Amino acid sequence: MAKGIVLHLLQIAQIDLLFNPKARNFPSLLMMFIYMNKFVLVVIGIFIFSCQRESQSNVPLFQEKNLTLNSIEFDSLIFDKDYFSGVGFFSVGRDELFFVDQVFSTVIAFDKNGHSKGTFLGKGDGPDEQNNIHGFLPYATGDNHMVLDNFEFVVFDQDFQKVSSYPIEWDYSESYQDMLNNPHGSMLGLYEIAWSSKGNNTSFLTLGNAAEVILPVTMSHPRLNGYISEEYYKSVSVFGRYDLSKRKVIEGFGIRSEKYLSHLYIPNFDFSFFTKRKDEILASFAIDPLIHVFDSEGTLKYKFGVEGEGIQSTYPITNTIDDALDNYKVDLEKAGFYHAIYSDESNGLTFRTYYPTGSKAGNARLQIYENNVLIGDVLVPARFHVIGKIGDTYYADGIIEELNDRLGIYTFKLDLK
């Protein structure tokens, strides 16, 4: 979390938002104002200097489809394991599969056939322990794994012995008063990590021979936020560029889909997922059928995508901040949204999961793109997020059933010849 104004106000409010189930993506200024209940949010008459951004309407658009895949055949790979909680996520790295248990802060490693290779980490401060795991990227820096902790990246070797850590600082020069009274999207000191909810990987990726980390960011200033501010959707970045040598977030880039400007305000659907495709970053926003493609410098190059089948796009409008916080789960059950995205860089295939009628449905759908052309839109289980490939087998997160003592992952193959 950014220091300066954000850290100062959090200390005043004495709020530990990391343990607040309603906080999700709002751990900062806005939440402090809500809980202190001593401030009035001024909506009318606020003028925020807008960052100069390239109009999204000026970029090329591709909406081609050639539906050659009507279904996929997938199997369930049930893991050998020790005790696990029901909260966590899967990851794929090289020829290994991993389950990150976020309750116990452990990483269970498996071979590609689901046989356990050991349980690592766990809560504590030792060289082979880790107290919090919000995100996990195996083999992020050569032979080393990377964990996203509360306030730092932690690097472990293949045996999960700690190699180094990188505090997440933010490179800014604005004063406390400037950030409080004149917020705008270029102020890195107002940003924070856009945490995913428990049970999901707060995804990040490495660029430039692992010299940089791209991580999801957001802002919740009392005047510049997703609840009351149109300018938020025009100028606040969705990505932060972390320089490992400088140990700082040096830049914010990428803005939200302009579709959000047609639905003011639906902050409970203000989330996105992203993946890497060679030298491109592909971003999928919850309410937009179009996938936004950025180059490695952060410039929006083009968009592609086709609307999902039967997508329910009547989104519940938020009238108050309290309503948004109270209705987060319910809102996601009322309307359709796009979710996890993964790109197979070896063959140009991109997979995106979506929920046509919301999260309460018993299944989801999976779009499959080949070189930006939609070639499949198929029915899949409710939790089915493609996360990697080993050989010619794809793996999808997954089966997490604590009551039934089942932990597993989906597998499938594609023959496009």
Find out whether 351 and 386 touch, Cβ atoms under 8 Å.
yes
pLDDT of residue 306: 98
CA dist 57 and 119 (Å) reads 49
pLDDT of residue 287: 98
Full-model pTM:
0.87
Name the strand (E) or helix (H) holding 332. helix 328-332
Residue 88 dihedral angles phi and psi, to the nearest 5°: 170, -170
301: left (phi over 0), alpha (psi -120 to 50) or beta: alpha
Residue with tokens 């980490």: 121
CA dist 169 and 39 (Å) reads 28
pLDDT tens, residue by residue, 129-165:
999 999 999 999 999 999 999 999 999 999 999 999 9
Residue 247 has pLDDT above 50, yes or no: yes
Residue 114 has pLDDT above 90, yes or no: yes
- Residue 260 is encoded by which pair of tokens? 């959000």
Q: What CA dihedral angle connects 131, 136, 140 and 144, to 10 degrees?
A: 40
List, in order, residues 6 or more apart from 220 with CB less than 8 Å away.
25, 26, 27, 28, 29, 30, 31, 192, 226
Which value, in Å, is the radius of gyration of the alpha carbons in the chain?
Answer: 21
The partner residues of 367 in beta bridges, in order of sequence, read 352, 377
- Residue 132 is encoded by which pair of tokens? 């919090």
Q: Where does residue 274 rank: exposed (0-12), middle (13-18), buried (19+ CB within 10 A)?
A: buried
The partner residues of 302 in beta bridges, in order of sequence, read 293
Name the strand (E) or helix (H) holding 219. strand 212-219
pLDDT of residue 81: 80
Indicate the pLDDT class of residue 205, thresholds 50, 70 and 90: very high
Segment 48-73 shows an average pLDDT of 76
pLDDT tens, residue by residue, 391-402:
999 999 999 998
In one-letter notation, the amino acid at residue 325 is L
C-alpha distance from residue 113 to each of 81, 97, 365 (Å): 13, 9, 25
pLDDT of residue 402: 86
pLDDT of residue 7: 39
Architecture of domain 83-167: Beta Barrel (2.40)
The percent of residues above 70 in pLDDT, for the chain, comes to: 87
Indicate the pLDDT class of residue 55, thresholds 50, 70 and 90: low
List, in order, residues 6 or more apart from 216 with CB less than 8 Å away.
193, 194, 196, 202, 203, 204, 238, 239, 240, 272, 274
List, in order, residues 6 or more apart from 89 with CB less than 8 Å away.
99, 100, 102, 136, 199, 200, 201, 397, 398
Find out whether 272 and 214 touch, Cβ atoms under 8 Å.
no
Domain spans, the chain: 1-40+174-228+238-255, 61-79+258-417, 83-167
Q: Where are the beta strands (DSSP E) in 278-319?
A: 280-285, 291-295, 300-304
Segment 161-172 shows an average pLDDT of 97
Q: What is the mean pLDDT of the chain?
A: 88
Instruction: Give the residue, 13 or 352, on which the prediction is more confident.
Output: 352
Find out whether 345 and 327 touch, Cβ atoms under 8 Å.
no
Q: Considering only CA atoms, which of 267, 377, 389 is closest in space to residue 322?
A: 267
CA dist 23 and 40 (Å) reads 20
Reduced DSSP (H G I as helix, E B as strand, rest coil) percent helix, strand, coil of the chain, to 5:
15, 40, 45
The percent of residues above 90 in pLDDT, for the chain, comes to: 80
- Min mean pLDDT across 19-33, 119-133, 310-324 is at 19-33
Residue 6 has pLDDT above 60, yes or no: no
Q: Considering only CA atoms, which of 316, 311, 314 is closest in space to residue 352?
A: 311
What's the order of all strands across the beta sheet hosting 300-304?
61-62, 300-304, 291-295, 280-285, 272-277
379: left (phi over 0), alpha (psi -120 to 50) or beta: beta
SS3 331: helix
In one-letter notation, the amino acid at residue 31 is M
